[in-house]
Every structure is written in structure tokens, then in C-alpha cells.
Chains A and B, each alone.
Chain A
Amino acid sequence: MQRRGEGPSGLNYINFEAIRSLPRPGDREGWVRPVQAEVLVPDSIPLAYIPEISFVSQASLAHAERLCGSLPHPKFSVNAQLFTNSSQASLKTIMFPYVAELVLTADTNIDQSMLYSSHIQENKYSKSRDKCIILSAIIDASPGTKVNFELSTASTDRRVVKTRKLEVQGYYPNGYIDRSRIRLENLQVGVYSVACYLNDLCWASANFEVLE
């Protein structure tokens, strides 16, 4: 039976249980395919109707926060489990590529524990003190995923300073780790942004400031 509703009240007809249900092609009765009507929204849904937005990783959440800037937004949270097809499945079963971590550090002797550290520095680097910045990314991706790091100025006249492209070739169940070095000696004082694109889609970014 079709049920329709206009305006935000129409959202009440969405069967969220169906959306979150696990498609089970192996069921004896056949594929359980929850039929879900599409929701047509002529304009946009006011943010007030969205209590929470979940992201697959902290890196994605941080990118969203950067995009929002000082604008008010719903609660942001990281809930990678939502992006698997089962509450029992581990995060290794997420099929699409994403950036799990994007960390900038001036310390060349980084180790694994630092990569997973939740605190991120203020990202201010001094040309006189730091020779270079190490950009570390943990990317969950299948072979063939095109990765593009873009270094640009963060000012209003955004200008791309450098890009680095690579392709993930092996399969990395625990994430592909990429490290690159941004040399400070040739950067002018100012604020910069590093963004990580996977298959031309920006998944993570970080700002940093270069001081004298």
C-alpha cells in the first residue's frame, strides 16, 4: 500500500528498519528486498529535521566540519558500523574506498600509535624549526582506487600548489598507509590545505599554517 505525505511529515512514512535491514540473498524464501518508496524533496530538508549525521571515519567528519566552518550543523558522529551490511560484520567489510585517518606531523619519527592518536596538533609549522611536514594517510581502498593529494593555499584565492597522484594496487585489509613529505623551505608563510581525493571525490582534508 502506498502511503504518501507532503512536507517534512512525509518523512514519517519512511521505514528506517527496512533501510537498515540486511539484504539476505541466501534466505530460503528468496532475496528479501525491502521496498522503499523514494522520498521526493522539492527544495531541501531543513537541518532542524536532521538530528545526527554519521560518518565512516574521523577524517571524513573532520572534513565535514571544515566545510561547515562556523555554520550551525546537526550533531556529527563517527559510526562506521552503519556503512557495513550487517551489525555483525567488521569494518573490513566496508566495500567503498574511504580515508580512515589523515594526520599531519612535523615529527619524522612517527609510529603507529601516533597515527591512531585522536588529538591533532594545531598544525602550525615553523620554517625555521621544521624542515618538512609528514602527511600520513590511512586509506581503506581496493586495488585500482585512484588517490590524489592536493596541496593548495587556503586563502580566498585558492590556488593549487602541488598534487600527488597514486593508485592503490594491492589489497590492504588494515588500510593502505601512504606517507608523503611536504617541504617547508619552498612554501611561503600562510595557511594551506591538504585534501585527499579517492576516485575524484574529496574524502578528507586538513589545514596547516606555515610560520617564519
Chain B
Amino acid sequence: MTQQQLFDEWSEEVPRQNGIPPLDRFQGALLLSTVGDALGWPTEFLKPTNGRKPPFELPLQDFVTWKKLVGGKWWGYEETIEPGAYSDDSQLALAVARCITDDGNFDSEMFAYQELPLWLQYERGGGKSVKTAARKLIGKNASWLRNFYKQGELDYRNAGANGAAMRNLPIALASVNNTEQIIKDSFLNSIITHGHPRAILGAILFALTVNYALTTSNGITFASLFEYLRTEMSQIGKIVTQDDRVTTWIQGWDNSDSFEKASFRTSFNEVHQEALNYLKGIPQSINQDARAYYTFVGALDPATKGSGLATVCVAIYLFFKYLDRPEEALTTAANTFGSDTDTIGVFLGALSGAYHGTKALPSHLSHKVQDHDYLIKTANRLYSIAARQKQTKGVKQTIERRDAYFRILSWEIDLHEMFWDELGRGEIIFHPTLGRGTIEEKIEKPIKKREDYVVKLISVRFDCGQSCIFHSRVQNNEKVSESLAQDITNALGK
């Protein structure tokens, strides 16, 4: 009896697309991107000169333990970050990966109403724009297509940082060789949190460059990449406006009250030109000290260092400058203090991994990065989607906003019991997007200026392979400040 043939996996007879790059490049892109994040995160807040001496040796060549001050003067606490731990950049990239359906489409609703709000409870180093956008997505009339938030200095239409691009790698991988889908899904992914064309174009530029690196076998040149980007960027308007959701969003953008007076189209064209100028500056800076190019695009200026466009262009620059020395490229990114080291590391790692595959991974870092196996699994799934090896037919997979809210509300029971210490180490929880998890560790820290509060950090390892640290300030062992329950209850109209 040939047992192997008794119980076969069903496969839809879908022919494999031609030209899908090897799996190793998918794995390389996701792994190296996360390594770049984990390597660059400890130096993100180091000043270029006269800064406080960090508790690790410089230049940084390896993953290190470091301490991060979380929160402000009144609520702040110190968190120890383990070697190889990744930041919000990779957390959100993994969340985006989960929102790509088996047929290769990015599910905006799932990301906006489920992944993003839930991420607030385990985020590490999340930026203000993304966190504000996430909170605004819970509400009676919340809509990811009309998330034109304004809060203090934050204005959605002016949010042009790299928070959209940094999570966009899975879209490039799942839609490799399909430029139209990459552009459309990158656009949709971006506008959930960022409204400025600089953030949107940065995300598209990053994804297109990954696509190019992934599909070029040997002898990649900047000239050929530039030609590809120039051609594809000129098509963005035409491609995205075929989607009714985008046209609705643009109308909303143009009609919303903001200090930005120009239309979206005008602003986008200006940023498009800015991108071309940044890219054109790469060849002439390639033999100069890297800091010259950083300065040229404003990546060392505190006001512009997080620009969605500048940081992507710096990564493209470093990728070509150190084309055959990817490890040196990563350490240069991590040691250029005063820049957005972790996010540039994310972009750069993705490009190097997409082009070289896993062989570009520094051997001393490869297996030490947080959730290594989950990253491999995620890359494998994205490869499988790209190659259309498996397809789910017949059932449209999406989640309604109300259902997403109810799922979060269900999860809040486990969340509270974790923070009330009714669930302890070794006990099981169920998370709406990460599934079943086991509580591994609980740490409690005092808040110096608020005696009635403590901070609790709860490490959970999920069966899917991701590990998260849930955090919250807890008042008198009762009120869990990171709870979304009140907002959700209000949003559900109860």
C-alpha cells in the first residue's frame, strides 16, 4: 500500500505564474528587513554629536540589550529591549501580511478595524500618526476611507512620514510582477493612516523597488531601476483612480479642512517631482560619504528625517552603494546617528534580501532575530500567494467593521484577566488576529509620579509564531488604561 497517495492535499489546477522569483528571496527580504529593524532600533534616538553615551559599544555591529524610555514625564517607565527584538515597523508589516488574502488582495477593512486597533496594545515604538489613526478607527462613524483626523499638531493630510512605507513589504512580495496591484494596494494600505502624498508615494516607491530587486537576477543597475521607477510612477494616478475607493478618498481629501490648500493631485505631482530629484541625486553621491546623501534628502534634519520619501531614497542609495556588501550597508544604516536608523534598516534589508536572498543575512544575526521562524512562515505564505500555488475559491474573505469590534470586545476579557493577574504564566489566551497564545512572563514596574498606577508588561507567545509584549498602565489593579473596551462599546452604540 502506498500510503502517501491516500490522503493528498487538494490543489486547484492553477498554473504557476512564470517568473516568480525563488522562495529564498522572499525569505531573505522579510528576514533581512526585520534584521535591519532590530539592528537599527537601539540607535534610533542617538544624537550625531554630543549625545548621551549608549550602554553598548559603537559602532553597532550586533544585536544588543538596551533600555527605552516609554511614555512621557508623568507616565514614563523604562523598558528593557532584548537583543534582536524588532519594533513597530516589523510588527505592522506582519499585521499587513496577515491581511493579504489567499487571492493576493490587501484587505483594508481587516487591517483598519482589527489589526491596527489591536496593535495599540502590543506596539513597540509606534509613531504618533499611526497610533492616532488607529484610535480614530474605532468609532460609531469611523471609516478608513474618511480617517481625516486632526489631533493637536497631528493632521492626517499632513502625515507624510514613513509609517506607511515601513509596513508595505508584504504587499510587494505577494504581488510580485504585478505592478498595478502593488501600486493600488500600497496606496490603499497607506491612506489608512497617512494622508500626505509623501507617505503614500514613499510606500509605493519602496514596494516598486522591492519588486524590481526581487525580479532582477544579476547585474542590477541604478540606471535600469531609475528607468523602471520613472515609468511606473508616471502611471500611479491612472492606476489608482480606477478604484472607486481611491476616488472617494481623494474627494474627501480635497474637501477636508486643512492648512494644506493645494489639491491632492497638485500635492502629489509636487512630491512626485521631489522623488525624481532625490533619485537623480543617487549616482552623483554614490562615491561620496553616505552622510552627504542623507543630508541632500533631509534624512539627518530632525524636521524631515522621518520623511516617507527621504528614508526610502536613502535605503535605495545604500543598497547600490554597498551592492555586494549588504552587511556593511546595514551597519552603515544603523550607525548613521541622527537618522531614522531602524526604518531605513527595514527598507534596506528588504532590498538586499530581495536581491541577494538569505545569503545576504549576516550569519551572527540570522537566527537571533525575534520570531525568526514566524518570519520564514510568513515569507513562505506570501510566496505561495504570489505563485498562486493555492487558491481559495468562492468565499469572499473580509470582515465587517462591526464584527471586528465585537471580536475586539471578546478579546478584552482575556486582556483584562491578564492585567488583573487572574491569568498567569503558562495560561492560554485567544487573540482575534494572532490566535491562541501562552503567557510567558509578567513584569510589573512602578510609575514614579503616580503611586496608584503600575505598568505591567506581559509577554505572550502565540501558536502562529509571533511573540508580543502587551503593555498597560493599571490603576489599583482595576483600570486597564490600554483597554479599548469603552471606545468599542461606544462605537457599537450600546
Contact A24 B489 (CB under 8 A): yes
A170 pairs with B410, CB closer than 8 A: no
| Stretch binding the partner chain, chosen from B34-42, B238-246, B478-486 | B478-486
- For B392, what are the chain A residues with a Cβ–Cβ distance below 8 Å? 172, 176-177
**A162 contacts the other chain (Cβ, under 8 Å)?**
yes
Identify which of A143, A151, A169, A180 gathers the most chain B CB atoms within 10 Å of its CB: A143
CB nearest neighbor in A for B415: A25
Encode B426-443 as 1/0 by CB contact (under 8 A) with A: 000011111110000000
Interface residues of A: mostly helix, strand, loop or mixed? loop
**Do A89 and B436 touch (CB < 8 A)?**
no
Residues in B whose Cβ lies below 8 Å from that of A23:
413
Chain A residues with Cβ below 8 Å from B407 are 92-93, 95
Residues B10 and A181 in contact, CB atoms below 8 Å apart: yes
> Are A149 and B7 also in contact (CB < 8 A) when A26-B488, A90-B406 are?
yes
User: When the two chains form their complex, are residues A179 and B7 in contact, meaning their CB atoms are under 8 A apart?
Assistant: no
Contact, CB under 8 Å: A26 / B486 = yes
For B98, list chain A residues within 8 Å (CB). Answer: 143, 170-171
Give the distance to chain B from A119, nearest Cβ to Cβ, in Å.
19
- Are B395 and A177 within 8 A (Cβ)? yes
B303 within 8 A of A: no
- Indicate if B412 sits at the interface (CB-CB under 8 A): yes
Give the interface SS of chain B, mostly helix, strand, loop or mixed: mixed
CA distance A111 to B436 in the complex (A): 31
**Contact count band on A:** 35 or more
A117 at the interface (CB under 8 A from B): no
Q: Is B284 an interface residue (CB 8 A)?
A: no
A74 within 8 A of B: no
Among A26, A167, A172, A181, the residue within 8 A (CB) of B8 is A181
Q: How many A-B residue pairs have CB under 8 A?
A: 162
Give the distance in Å from the alpha carbon of A173 to the alpha carbon of B483 in the complex.
23
Q: Are B433 and A92 neighbours in the complex by a CB distance under 8 Å?
A: no
Q: Which of B110, B396, B478 contacts A30 (CB 8 A)?
A: B478
- Chain B 1-18: CB-based contact to A (< 8 A → 1; otherwise 0): 111011111100000000
> Which chain B residue has the least Cβ–Cβ distance from A179?
B10
Q: Known: A26-B488, A164-B7, A175-B395. Is A143-B406 also a contact (CB below 8 A)?
A: no
**B430, A96: Cβ atoms closer than 8 Å:** yes
Q: How far is the CB of B407 from chain A (nearest CB, A)?
A: 5
Docked Cα-Cα span, A186 to B434, in Å, equals 39
* A163 proximal to B (CB < 8 A): yes
CB pair B412–A25 under 8 Å, yes or no, is yes
A145 & B463 in contact (Cβ 8 Å cutoff)? yes
| Residue of chain B at shortest CB distance from A141 | B435
When chains A and B are docked, how far (Å) is the Cα of A186 from the Cα of B488?
55
Q: Is the CB of A173 within 8 A of B463?
A: no
Q: How far is the CA of A108 from the CA of B410 in the complex (A)?
A: 39
| Contact in complex: B8, A186 (CB < 8 Å) | no
Q: Find out whether the CB atom of B465 lies under 8 angstroms from the CB atom of A31.
A: no
A173, B110: Cβ atoms under 8 Å? yes
Using known A-B contacts A93-B410, A180-B8, determine if residue A173 contacts B403 with beta carbons closer than 8 Å: yes
* A62 adjacent to chain B (CB < 8 Å): no
Which residue of B8, B397, B433, B488 is within 8 Å of A183 (Cβ)? B8
A4, B420: Cα distance in complex, Å: 28
Within the assembled complex, what's the spacing in Å between the Cα atoms of A140 and B383?
23
CB pair A162 B3 closer than 8 Å: yes
For window 147-162 of chain A, which residues contact chain B by CB distance below 8 Å?
149, 151, 161-162
Q: Is the CB of B397 within 8 A of A173?
A: yes
> Are B397 and A142 interface neighbours, CB within 8 A?
no
Contact pick for A164, options B9, B100, B462, B464, CB 8 Å: B9
A72, B73: Cα distance in complex, Å: 67
In the complex, besides A26-B485, A175-B395, 8 extra interface pairs with C-beta distance below 8 angstroms are A27-B489, A90-B400, A142-B433, A144-B464, A145-B436, A151-B6, A169-B378, A174-B396
* Subset of 29 A-B contacts with CB under 8 Å: A26-B490, A27-B489, A30-B478, A86-B409, A89-B406, A92-B400, A93-B403, A95-B410, A95-B432, A97-B435, A112-B395, A144-B463, A151-B6, A151-B7, A161-B6, A164-B7, A169-B378, A170-B102, A170-B381, A171-B99, A173-B397, A173-B403, A175-B395, A177-B393, A180-B8, A181-B8, A183-B8, A186-B2, A187-B6
Q: Which 3 A-B pairs have the closest CB atoms?
A: A144-B464, A142-B435, A179-B10
